[in-house]
A and B are shown apart, each in its own frame.
Chain A
């Protein structure tokens, strides 16, 4: 065993850190600091930042080199993401760089690779993920949006929901039912759909934090050229599963969690009780210490997976550990922010007020914190809910 973080990576970290410091525009950083979430930055900022990052060729370092990747080791990729988060840089358009991109270069046609990979790499436009439906959330395989082949087109009818940022996406990747006769999982296909196609209507959904990034997408006789099918008909489900296997450690949100722990300490230094900073109060010290302990363990769990430890238990069950712990941590940390801010946390701040009212007398560690804690109730719902993760563990680790 060698359990130490490779010391030779220190130079790499410095190089990344300096580059981000040089490149990241102040306003984008500021917006991300206040309202940026875990894989949910302001979509305009994501694209603007990708344009900047692409000059260094750093938008998709995790891709194979022939498609524009950097051939960095898993640890280097880890450091890269960690530094981005630490600097309050926005995420890339995750749907593009981490979801549809890898699907296209693994299963797509040459024409699709040519058309889409450079655009994804450069952040030319935003991608929407059209998987969930009103009646198909945890039970995604029951999805009903139908694509019927007619000549060289598919005619798509149905409805998607929770489609993040659909209102400003140029393209979407959709799971659709092409064969209603077979076992549900076998009848699903993976389609790329231009979001400006006639027949698509989008409604933004007002959220718990009074923002509206989530959308409903209605598809009414939408014509999709058959060459926008990715891979084979009926294989959509297996491609979606490939995605999950491909991104096993993402669900830990370790970079986000580490950054938000630092933020908690910062807020605890700023906020006082009877004139004493909260960081000196035992109640809060205790909460911070416990979360730090869990984050440290989670980082260890991420490393074990990244370094390909041979696990005694099924690896999918082990990956679920990261999701269970990481999703609960996101909630615990942002709730801690709210509790640290105390009574002032009940004020509503909208993200459009980021360019702050110059007369607002409140300190600047407050806006955005409650908004984030509210929306992060989602962390145990999306990407396989907490209950679904526990079902997976029970089944795959113990055969229950």
Chain B
């Protein structure tokens, strides 16, 4: 066992920290909220330049063939700097799904790597909540020389800036589960877009006989690859959460040393020291939980799911403790948009709700315990 970063990972993290910290200042991120699709095009070009968009893509497709641990390392830096850009969808979820497709599409990989294409996953349907194995109402239909897709998706994370959508559907006729690739810019795809509390973006998307340019996977293989992709996505977000918490620790410890009340730094009050200590414990445990899950990413389904759910629970609870107490330590300043700590709270709250909240993962573990 070796829990230390490899030299390569150190370099990756170092570069990421340097670029992200200087680029994603608080003011810059606040300004980005007003951009139409949430994309920071300059930064995205840098992501391409630095090879981050190629990290999860296999070598034979021109990628860097990085391990999930490398991706997690990079994601901690994204979390630490509260980057709202659609990195997880395009650089983690999509590469996994696309590279497991029956016929991988080299052109699309190239476009992702160069920064031209961004891919979002459209799965949730109206009225649903983390229904990752329920049948879709969205239908994929065979037409003369191809496929069309019809249906409605809700809360498609990162959709506004996406050039392509990977859409989950049932195949008309056979009823098989399928993953289809749908170009986002066609008039048969209409989106209702909005900001999220952490300044990321999402859309509700309607497909009205939209063209699907490829059917990536179908049947049981589609289901299992989809489950694997969701768990990897959860891990990527979990790593972002760990990065965000670790940042919050720094910010808060510095703040309570600096802030004076009653003629002394508030960090001298034991009540606050104990809060800080609780945050320290939770953050450390969260990183440990992340590692536990990373270790099981390629394990058999049940072991993988259990480890990911356990990590999501630990990280979710730690996130809430750390960021809420972080605000408490800041007093009124914690409630403003002008101090970092409130942004960490919003980001961590959003992450907790993505791809299964604590309740969802508690139930997933509960179901496994029952059938053990």
Spell out A's residues near B (CB within 8 Å): 132, 135-139, 142, 161-162, 205-208, 210, 214, 271-274, 283-284, 331, 338-339, 342-348, 359-361, 370, 374-375, 377-378, 380-382, 385-387, 390-391
A346 adjacent to B332 (CB under 8 Å): no
Q: Give the distance to chain A from B265, nearest Cβ to Cβ, in Å.
A: 12
Known contacts A343-B124, A346-B198, A348-B194, A377 near B336 by CB under 8 Å: no
B131 adjacent to A348 (CB under 8 Å): no
Q: Give the distance to chain B from A202, nearest Cβ to Cβ, in Å.
A: 16
B129 adjacent to A273 (CB under 8 Å): yes
B129 adjacent to A382 (CB under 8 Å): no
Bound-complex Cα distance A274 to B345 (A): 29
A207 adjacent to B261 (CB under 8 Å): no
Residue among A207, A274, A339 making CB contact with B131, cutoff 8 Å? A274
Bound-complex Cα distance A391 to B270 (A): 11
B349 adjacent to A346 (CB under 8 Å): yes
A207 adjacent to B336 (CB under 8 Å): yes
A347 adjacent to B194 (CB under 8 Å): yes
Chain A residues whose C-beta falls within 8 Å of the C-beta of B127 in the assembled complex: 272
Chain A residues whose C-beta falls within 8 Å of the C-beta of B170 in the assembled complex: none
Contact with A along B185-228 (1 / 0, CB 8 A): 00000001011111000101000000000000000000000000
Q: Give the distance to chain B from A5, nearest Cβ to Cβ, in Å.
A: 35
Known contacts A132-B332, A205-B336, A207-B335, A343 near B192 by CB under 8 Å: no
Residue among A338, A370, A382, A387 making CB contact with B332, cutoff 8 Å? A382
Indicate whether B353 reaches chain A with its CB closer than 8 angstroms.
yes
Chain A residues whose C-beta falls within 8 Å of the C-beta of B195 in the assembled complex: 347-348
B261 adjacent to A137 (CB under 8 Å): yes
B359 adjacent to A283 (CB under 8 Å): yes
Indicate whether B95 reaches chain A with its CB closer than 8 angstroms.
no
* Cβ < 8 Å to A, chain B residues 327-341: 327-328, 331-332, 334-338
Chain B facing A: main interface SS: mixed
In the A-B complex, list the 8 residue pairs whose CB atoms are closest, starting with the nearest.
A206-B337, A208-B342, A139-B261, A346-B350, A348-B195, A387-B271, A139-B262, A377-B327
Q: Give the distance to chain B from A209, nearest Cβ to Cβ, in Å.
A: 8
Known contacts A138-B261, A361-B126, A385-B331, A274 near B272 by CB under 8 Å: no
Q: Give the distance to chain A from B194, nearest Cβ to Cβ, in Å.
A: 6
Known contacts A272-B129, A375-B335, A390-B271, A342 near B346 by CB under 8 Å: no
Q: Number of A-B pairs whose CB atoms are under 8 Å? A: 124
Chain A residues whose C-beta falls within 8 Å of the C-beta of B362 in the assembled complex: 283
B196 adjacent to A374 (CB under 8 Å): no
Known contacts A137-B332, A208-B336, A385-B331, A374 near B359 by CB under 8 Å: no
Q: Give the distance to chain A from B197, nearest Cβ to Cβ, in Å.
A: 5
Bound-complex Cα distance A137 to B155 (A): 40
Chain B residues whose C-beta falls within 8 Å of the C-beta of A271 in the assembled complex: 129
Indicate whether B1 reaches chain A with its CB closer than 8 angstroms.
no
Bound-complex Cα distance A347 to B269 (A): 37
Interface centre among A283, A339, A377 (most CB of B within 10 A): A377
Q: Give the distance to chain A from B123, nearest Cβ to Cβ, in Å.
A: 11
Chain A residues whose C-beta falls within 8 Å of the C-beta of B202 in the assembled complex: 346-347
Indicate whether B46 reaches chain A with its CB closer than 8 angstroms.
no
Bound-complex Cα distance A374 to B347 (A): 12
Q: Give the distance to chain B from A4, nearest Cβ to Cβ, in Å.
A: 38
11 A-B pairs whose Cβ atoms sit less than 8 Å apart in the complex: A137-B261, A137-B331, A274-B134, A339-B359, A342-B130, A343-B124, A346-B155, A346-B349, A361-B192, A361-B204, A381-B331
Residue among B196, B269, B345, B363 making CB contact with A346, cutoff 8 Å? B196
Interface centre among A359, A361, A381 (most CB of B within 10 A): A381
Bound-complex Cα distance A118 to B137 (A): 62
Chain B residues whose C-beta falls within 8 Å of the C-beta of A346 in the assembled complex: 155, 196-198, 202, 349-350, 353-354
Chain A residues whose C-beta falls within 8 Å of the C-beta of B260 in the assembled complex: 135
Indicate whether B324 reaches chain A with its CB closer than 8 angstroms.
yes
Interface residues in B, total, Cβ within 8 A: 47
Bound-complex Cα distance A66 to B269 (A): 47
Bound-complex Cα distance A137 to B30 (A): 27
Spell out B's residues near A (CB within 8 Å): 30, 124, 126-127, 129-131, 134, 154-155, 192, 194-198, 202, 204, 260-263, 269, 271-272, 324, 327-328, 331-332, 334-338, 342, 345-346, 349-350, 353-354, 357-359, 362-363
Chain A residues whose C-beta falls within 8 Å of the C-beta of B336 in the assembled complex: 205-208, 214
Q: Give the distance to chain A from B130, nearest Cβ to Cβ, in Å.
A: 7
Q: Give the distance to chain A from B339, nearest Cβ to Cβ, in Å.
A: 9
Bound-complex Cα distance A136 to B261 (A): 7
B272 adjacent to A381 (CB under 8 Å): no
A208 adjacent to B346 (CB under 8 Å): yes
Chain A residues whose C-beta falls within 8 Å of the C-beta of B126 in the assembled complex: 361
Chain B residues whose C-beta falls within 8 Å of the C-beta of A359 in the assembled complex: 192
Q: Give the distance to chain B from A374, nearest Cβ to Cβ, in Å.
A: 7
A206 adjacent to B197 (CB under 8 Å): no
B197 adjacent to A348 (CB under 8 Å): yes
Bound-complex Cα distance A210 to B30 (A): 10
Across the interface, name the chain A residue whose C-beta is closest to B261: A139
Interface centre among A345, A348, A361, A374 (most CB of B within 10 A): A348
Residue among A272, A344, A386 making CB contact with B155, cutoff 8 Å? A344
Q: Give the distance to chain B from A108, nearest Cβ to Cβ, in Å.
A: 29
Residue among B124, B262, B335 making CB contact with A377, cutoff 8 Å? B335
Q: Give the distance to chain B from A135, nearest Cβ to Cβ, in Å.
A: 7
Residue among B204, B327, B337 making CB contact with A210, cutoff 8 Å? B337
Chain B residues whose C-beta falls within 8 Å of the C-beta of A162 in the assembled complex: 332
Chain B residues whose C-beta falls within 8 Å of the C-beta of A370 in the assembled complex: 197, 349
Known contacts A348-B195, A361-B126, A370-B197, A381 near B334 by CB under 8 Å: yes
Chain B residues whose C-beta falls within 8 Å of the C-beta of A361 in the assembled complex: 126, 192, 204
Interface centre among B154, B336, B358 (most CB of A within 10 A): B336
Bound-complex Cα distance A105 to B261 (A): 33
Chain B residues whose C-beta falls within 8 Å of the C-beta of A380 in the assembled complex: 328
Bound-complex Cα distance A203 to B2 (A): 53
Chain B residues whose C-beta falls within 8 Å of the C-beta of A161 in the assembled complex: 332
A343 adjacent to B353 (CB under 8 Å): yes
Residue among A206, A210, A339, A377 making CB contact with B328, cutoff 8 Å? A377
Bound-complex Cα distance A378 to B334 (A): 8
B129 adjacent to A342 (CB under 8 Å): yes
Residue among B196, B262, B331, B342 making CB contact with A348, cutoff 8 Å? B196
A214 adjacent to B335 (CB under 8 Å): yes
Q: Give the distance to chain A from B2, nearest Cβ to Cβ, in Å.
A: 36
Known contacts A343-B130, A346-B353, A377-B328, A387 near B269 by CB under 8 Å: yes
B324 adjacent to A377 (CB under 8 Å): yes
A208 adjacent to B328 (CB under 8 Å): no
Residue among B271, B272, B338 making CB contact with A205, cutoff 8 Å? B338
Chain B residues whose C-beta falls within 8 Å of the C-beta of A348 in the assembled complex: 194-197
Chain B residues whose C-beta falls within 8 Å of the C-beta of A331 in the assembled complex: 324
Chain A residues whose C-beta falls within 8 Å of the C-beta of B358 in the assembled complex: 339
